[in-house]
Structure 1
């Protein structure tokens, strides 16, 4: 065998001087065959499982004849020409030059990235860059026999594949659906399956809205460079003329994205527009710059066109740096309200804040020492008393904490510190115009984690816990703008102050107690439960009823999670008052499998005038998807307002998807109405041809051929 390989190598080196092996071996040619023979002085004949390899090209054929006088290869099929990892050409017969860069193949079929196939009477290879196909039919659909046409195909007099630009150019092209011509184009350009971004039209989509009427979107993608692109989408409807834009750019140290639209419709008299922009950049010395801009011309525009469900827009510029023992942040935010009945001039419209926090680990006393400084301010545009209140605040905080492990596994944690706040108020005759106050605090927490191994192999953890805390000072006559909504949950059960901002602090002596329980099964399932309760020596008037923290005794907190290896997940949190009546509850259940996804959510809030809620709020929400068959998937969602006994939203969707086409049908209805939006119904259809792009490919949707 070794002698045969040496003989083949010598024959190749003498017969193919144009591709002889270089010194470093990178351009070496290799020929393997069952039989190799010389015919005269100029012809080398290889037969039987012939395979020739040159650079990134691999050629397989039943028989190859190399004619040295013409410096070409004569091929007998079946022929397979493999170029790199993406292109395969199959043919019946043909002829190529010695380095397989030029020539022709007859009865050929070209396969790109295992997705797109192009059948042609003849394929010409020119200069190693261009592949020309004559009388070509191109599709990404699975073709099982000649009697059954593909779902779609492109037929053309000629197609040229530019390997360098990775583009297909079709002359006199027809788009056929089930062999029925539906579109003719004298010229057509498409990217091959390896291209991620190429200038051209994207697939259009049809929609029908009860307010805007029937319409069509035709997006056009512009590749500005390797790191920038622009998508322009005209949206033409019966009652609207809209131009949608999206610009993206990637930088060495970050990225930028801008989305917007401009509309002229029959819903309002004036032109309408919106702009959303966001960016994030890494700066020197570990700093990060982030910003987002959100603006709209009227309150109903985003909802009418289904651009966003946000009812308050925020534009932010922030500079941050996070290190192991240091945190720095500074930012400014502006708000634009879209809520019905809310006046933008009477909410904090401009908000600025900055913070510096540093921690140390003193060797003599142990533990962790933290120092924090912060400034905050907000401004309302209104000049009215109280409704136009402006506030500025400065804060300095020093704290020390340390933990100890006691006998029997008890964990003891101490926290102590003092905070100094200076607050200045304008345009509020009911509040102090200026106030400085100090708040000393101390807390002691005791935990006792208990571990048990069950007979089933599951690990069970039970952790009783108790905390005693104290905070000095008094609640001055200062406005409450930042801490109007307080959540009592397992995350702040052991906190010394449960207000979300420093404009309010808890005072007096308090005690919190409860337990954490968790179970971890070897199969991957797990469950957890937290119970907590708080008692104190004085009431906190700034806690609302719904917060569960008003009065000397808090509500009873119960929170739990349950998850199985089979995809079932349950999460719930609820608050009970002293009469064991529900104050607040929320729950979410989900079941996720490869073919099924179901979810249900429920929340309930009691009435609370302090939170601008005169009536209880109760709502159910359901969502789901089911893969009906290999190619069909159905989706549904439903939101029901229990308090008002009516449906708020509902929607249905149906998707068909295989290896070459994707069709999305959707129907949705919004039932709610207000002074700025009306109920509406949306019907949408999107058809996408798959294959001529670098989009993700899922083989589970590929059709199979029956014998």
Structure 2
């Protein structure tokens, strides 16, 4: 019969008679407990427990076949197999041990330490010191599964001695030798690595190898430096044949937000005697009274740096500072933006470089009159560094130094009603008050003001049908009759040069993206929306739309789909199936049933793969500075071959020029102890990448240490 005995109450753990009562209370709180099939006392100072022995000291648990306690020396002699589990979940296994009564000091023979169910440290013997340190002699360390008949692990670190600091969660190696399939690869006299439970530890991280046709072969060795609990910095020297680069990343968490700064400084042979680099910074902070402060800053030394070094950033960098407050009835936002174009064909002096916006919107729900009264105010300005008041010698037709400021206000009232037969009617009235100020433009008036009224009547007639098997179908025709008074003032079109006609603005009184342009005259918009949800779970939707206007508007370009008194047909559809298949299409169909603008995206996602393909078409349009048609398709895919292998592919092909824009392939292998990532990409000449480049990247991460990622997800048993 199993016996339960408190070692504190036993003779072996009896406290001295002269101990104070408070000391007895404190010791009792950490009393050791013993559970065994059989417990007996030999003489007056020796206690023996045998058969399924389990001892507990605080949160530390020990199991063995036999424990002998000697009260004269306060030591435990333990026969294995021994298993000790500490409060952190680390496991220490041994054949034989001599420990003190608190299981904090002693010697273990044939010891194996398993940290966080990932990293194994097998040794001839281990010594526990002060309950904090475990000193292991003649050690083999690996996170690979080790089985009796499987041969050597994929990798291991052999060391003369390893010390595990349980409090600092660090591993210290003396005389370390790194082996792959038991073949010595490198010898390191002293080595420190974080154990798997430590998330942030100072030291080197996983290096990566990069080979570039522009920079040559190189290696990146990141070094992580924690600065307290809330900030850190990572320095990454990048040494290549044609470049010496220092990359950095700084992160800090605040009580109300966070900050991240990344960048690099380079000295290379691509631009000799020239300092090159980039700096990105982003952050978000919650302020008082529901305000949100966000910023995203970006700067680069030259137009080709990001492409040369494989840094994602696009061909136009925008640095943004914004302050926003959103409440149920109030919206406020102010933005300050700086643009830097990286296109070789664009001059930053003649582009709108500095842009400022303020927008305020408030809604009032009227009890007596009904409906909603909405008040909106907006101010905008943008600035060019050039001082020319005419068009310069470049290819475009814009005034090179034009600077613009505008103030716009809108007062609107809107309401909706349900009429007999389920017909939905809506009415909205608008009054816009606009003022425009233009400088350094010989073709436009300096000051322009106007007041513009508008009204819209909308009718919707939704029909819904539910099938006997649970399917649902919705058909909703909609018609809107609109009118905007006044005529276009003599201010330049500097913001609304690119117009998109889509489902979002089909029923708008103005389809221009900014308030420097408004549509005038009478318009009629008609559309049809159809949606269906099948009992099997798949859904599909289709939207048709068309617009008629009283007079043509010369500000609408050919590819906008709004040129002339009659617009192109707007077509948009989507389909989604529970198996992971999605499809979306959108396009404009002209009078001759030809696409003037179109895009499509198809995707298939499941447990084994993520595939996607997209298509884009833009016709020639002189008003949008597009002398040739643009037609391209892109493909991206990820295929998980099995639990350990996965591969990815991306490609972008220009159908108009019949050439590849970019290709890339990736291959990843991972198991319980290693992760290998390889990628190859080819970028062809573009507006920002004047020289084609080919890049290869390789990263090998050893799992089981906090720098290499978790090994738990891929843990396998020896019979696999």
Provide the rounded CA distance (Å) in 2 between the counterparts of 1:414 and 1:27: 77
Deviation at 1:566, TM superposition (A): 0.8
Provide the rounded CA distance (Å) in 1 between the counterparts of 2:77 and 2:532: 72
Provide the rounded CA distance (Å) in 2 between the counterparts of 1:163 and 1:701: 25
Provide the rounded CA distance (Å) in 1 between the counterparts of 2:26 and 2:236: 55
Provide the rounded CA distance (Å) in 1 between the counterparts of 2:468 and 2:28: 64
Aligned twin of 1:49: 52
With over 3 angstroms needed to count, the CA separation of the structure-2 counterparts of 1:556 and 1:244, relative to structure 1, is: same
Root-mean-square deviation (CA, aligned residues, Å) is: 2.1
Aligned residue among 275, 290, 293 for 2:294? 290
Aligned twin of 2:319: 315
Provide the rounded CA distance (Å) in 2 between the counterparts of 1:698 and 1:218: 22
Provide the rounded CA distance (Å) in 1 between the counterparts of 2:713 and 2:90: 22
Aligned residue among 141, 146, 150 for 1:143? 146
Deviation at 1:86, TM superposition (A): 2.7
Deviation at 1:418, TM superposition (A): 0.9
Aligned: 1:374 with 2:371: no
Note if contact 1:483-1:500 (Cα within 8 Å) is conserved in structure 2: yes
With over 3 angstroms needed to count, the CA separation of the structure-2 counterparts of 1:699 and 1:405, relative to structure 1, is: farther
With over 3 angstroms needed to count, the CA separation of the structure-2 counterparts of 1:660 and 1:290, relative to structure 1, is: same
Which stretch shifts more, 409-418 or 196-205? 409-418
Deviation at 1:644, TM superposition (A): 0.4
3-state SS of 2:323 partner: strand
Note if contact 2:702-2:708 (Cα within 8 Å) is conserved in structure 1: no
1:7-26 alignment runs, 5 A limit: 8-9=5-6, 12=9, 14-17=11-14
Note if contact 1:235-1:244 (Cα within 8 Å) is conserved in structure 2: yes
Which stretch shifts more, 410-419 or 571-580? 410-419
Aligned twin of 1:351: 355
Note if contact 1:527-1:563 (Cα within 8 Å) is conserved in structure 2: yes
Aligned twin of 2:483: 470
Note if contact 2:32-2:55 (Cα within 8 Å) is conserved in structure 1: yes
Deviation at 1:161, TM superposition (A): 1.0
CA deviations 1:170-207 (Å, max 9, x no partner) are 11111111111111111111111011111111121111
Provide the rounded CA distance (Å) in 1 between the counterparts of 2:30 and 2:87: 15
Note if contact 2:8-2:32 (Cα within 8 Å) is conserved in structure 1: no
Provide the rounded CA distance (Å) in 2 between the counterparts of 1:104 and 1:256: 48
Aligned twin of 2:281: 277
CA deviations 1:314-356 (Å, max 9, x no partner) are 1111111111111111221111111121110111111111122
Provide the rounded CA distance (Å) in 2 between the counterparts of 1:18 and 1:691: 43
Aligned: 1:244 with 2:241: no
1:380-395 alignment runs, 5 A limit: 380-385=384-389, 386-395=399-408
Provide the rounded CA distance (Å) in 1 between the counterparts of 2:444 and 2:342: 29
3-state SS of 1:480 partner: coil
With over 3 angstroms needed to count, the CA separation of the structure-2 counterparts of 1:470 and 1:451, relative to structure 1, is: same
Deviation at 1:160, TM superposition (A): 0.9
With over 3 angstroms needed to count, the CA separation of the structure-2 counterparts of 1:91 and 1:501, relative to structure 1, is: same
Deviation at 1:117, TM superposition (A): 0.7
Aligned: 1:416 with 2:429: yes
Provide the rounded CA distance (Å) in 2 between the counterparts of 1:448 and 1:526: 21
Which stretch shifts more, 16-25 or 117-126? 16-25
Aligned twin of 2:341: 337
Deviation at 1:37, TM superposition (A): 2.0
Deviation at 1:310, TM superposition (A): 1.0
Note if contact 1:21-1:27 (Cα within 8 Å) is conserved in structure 2: no
Aligned twin of 1:614: 627
Aligned twin of 1:630: 643
1:463-612 alignment runs, 5 A limit: 463-612=476-625
Note if contact 1:665-1:684 (Cα within 8 Å) is conserved in structure 2: yes
Aligned twin of 2:330: 326
Unaligned ranges ≥5, structure 2: 17-22, 390-398
With over 3 angstroms needed to count, the CA separation of the structure-2 counterparts of 1:503 and 1:24, relative to structure 1, is: farther
Deviation at 1:40, TM superposition (A): 2.2
Aligned twin of 1:303: 307
Provide the rounded CA distance (Å) in 2 between the counterparts of 1:25 and 1:540: 90
3-state SS of 1:344 partner: coil
Unaligned ranges ≥5, structure 1: none
Note if contact 1:21-1:29 (Cα within 8 Å) is conserved in structure 2: no
Aligned: 1:253 with 2:256: yes
With over 3 angstroms needed to count, the CA separation of the structure-2 counterparts of 1:72 and 1:514, relative to structure 1, is: same
3-state SS of 1:8 partner: strand
Deviation at 1:28, TM superposition (A): 4.7
CA deviations 1:537-569 (Å, max 9, x no partner) are 122222211111222111111111111111111
Which stretch shifts more, 34-43 or 556-565? 34-43
Provide the rounded CA distance (Å) in 1 between the counterparts of 2:479 and 2:519: 18
Note if contact 2:7-2:13 (Cα within 8 Å) is conserved in structure 1: no
Provide the rounded CA distance (Å) in 2 between the counterparts of 1:509 and 1:24: 90
1:152-171 alignment runs, 5 A limit: 152-171=155-174
CA deviations 1:519-552 (Å, max 9, x no partner) are 2234432211111111111222222111112221
CA deviations 1:496-527 (Å, max 9, x no partner) are 22211111112111121112211223443221
With over 3 angstroms needed to count, the CA separation of the structure-2 counterparts of 1:633 and 1:571, relative to structure 1, is: same
> How many residues in Structure 1 have an aligned counterpart in Structure 2?
704
Aligned: 1:450 with 2:454: no
CA deviations 1:204-252 (Å, max 9, x no partner) are 1111111111111111111122111111111111111111111111111
Aligned twin of 1:235: 238
With over 3 angstroms needed to count, the CA separation of the structure-2 counterparts of 1:412 and 1:48, relative to structure 1, is: farther
Note if contact 2:570-2:587 (Cα within 8 Å) is conserved in structure 1: yes
TM-score normalised to the size of structure 2? 0.94
3-state SS of 1:546 partner: helix
Aligned twin of 1:78: 81
Aligned twin of 2:188: 185
Deviation at 1:14, TM superposition (A): 5.0
CA deviations 1:242-272 (Å, max 9, x no partner) are 1111111111111111111111111123221
CA deviations 1:350-385 (Å, max 9, x no partner) are 111112211111211122211111111111111112
Aligned: 1:693 with 2:703: no
CA deviations 1:385-409 (Å, max 9, x no partner) are 2211000101111112212222333
Deviation at 1:613, TM superposition (A): 0.4
3-state SS of 1:345 partner: coil
With over 3 angstroms needed to count, the CA separation of the structure-2 counterparts of 1:196 and 1:573, relative to structure 1, is: same
CA deviations 1:393-440 (Å, max 9, x no partner) are 011111122122223333222221211010000111211211111121
Provide the rounded CA distance (Å) in 2 between the counterparts of 1:497 and 1:505: 6
3-state SS of 1:357 partner: strand
Aligned: 1:264 with 2:273: no
Provide the rounded CA distance (Å) in 1 between the counterparts of 2:24 and 2:632: 75
Which stretch shifts more, 459-468 or 185-194? 459-468
Provide the rounded CA distance (Å) in 2 between the counterparts of 1:456 and 1:594: 29
